Amino acid sequence: MTRRLATLAAAWLLVAPVSAEVASDGRITGALESLDPQRPGTVDAYVIVAALDTDPVFNREAREAGRVLAGRFGAQGRTITLAEDEGGDRAAAAGTPADLALAIDRAGALMDKKEDVLVLYTTSHGGPRSGLSYKHELYGSGVITPGKLSAMLDKSGAQNRLVILQACFSGQFVPALAGPRTVVLTAASSMKSSFGCSASNDWTFFGHAFVNQALRTRDTLARQFRRAVVTIIGWEEKLHIESSNPQISIGKDTAGWLASLDAQVQPVSPTPAGNPPSELSN
């Protein structure tokens, strides 16, 4: 596995000094090798959460989202969170494009590609007609385009996919990622900004409404998402800001695995973690 990890890291790391690449590889390898195998006959979820920016808000959101998503989808032991550490709240590795590619590849290798589900949540800034912005003081900066993320997912071989993207203009990923067995949820349309990314925040608007509130309720994923959208629209109207217009794409052949995940939903603490986005207190 080590040689494959190193090859993928070299291919996907956007800008990185050699020492940073080695450090990143060493940390991610142990985390990926500790992931549990899939259980035959059970629809297992493999959850990957990544903060693609060192702004603290994205890393706080990612670390807690990893815990919530692991609980919601019964994915303890099959979850990896890529984010910066903060005090005693630690992640598996940094949220670099290289580590994200390695995590997706490892999940694909472990899962039953026809039975199990790959769940991906990323949180970062985003740019119009470009993609997800990546920035790290040590490992470099760049953009993960819709085509590049699609290629990462395709390489894993995972057929059942739930992709959740928190970023401005994240709706631009829907055409590239949508498919018969894929669900795509985005914080904004391809032409709209999303909100709440002040560095001091614990959550973005989308992360707080969807992950920190809606996913803590016992309901189907589709209803949880729609509940979050209604909440976000209310916040935006109250603040007199233009709607971010979150997007949902549900493939025609996703009903089976969605029903399986909804049927085996695990209890998650109903109490939201951290503080709401500071913009909501204005």
Write out the DSSP string of 51-71.
E-B-SHHHHHHHHHHHHHHHH
Answer CATH for 2-35+43-281 from 1.10.260, 2.60.40, 3.40.50, 1.20.1270 = 3.40.50
The pLDDT tens digits for 152-200 are 999 999 999 999 999 999 999 999 999 999 999 999 999 999 999 999 9
Output the pTM of the full model: 0.90
User: For 189, what's the count of Cα atoms within 13 Å in the CB-facing half-sphere?
Assistant: 6
131 - beta bridge partners? 127
Q: Enter the DSSP assignment of 33.
A: H
pLDDT in tens, 193-202: 999 999 999 9
In sequence order, which residues have a C-beta less than 8 Å from that of residue 19 and are 6 or more positions away? Answer: none
- pLDDT at res. 139: 83
Kindly indicate the confidence band of residue 26, based on its pLDDT and cuts at 50, 70 and 90: low
In the chain, where the domains are located: 2-35+43-281
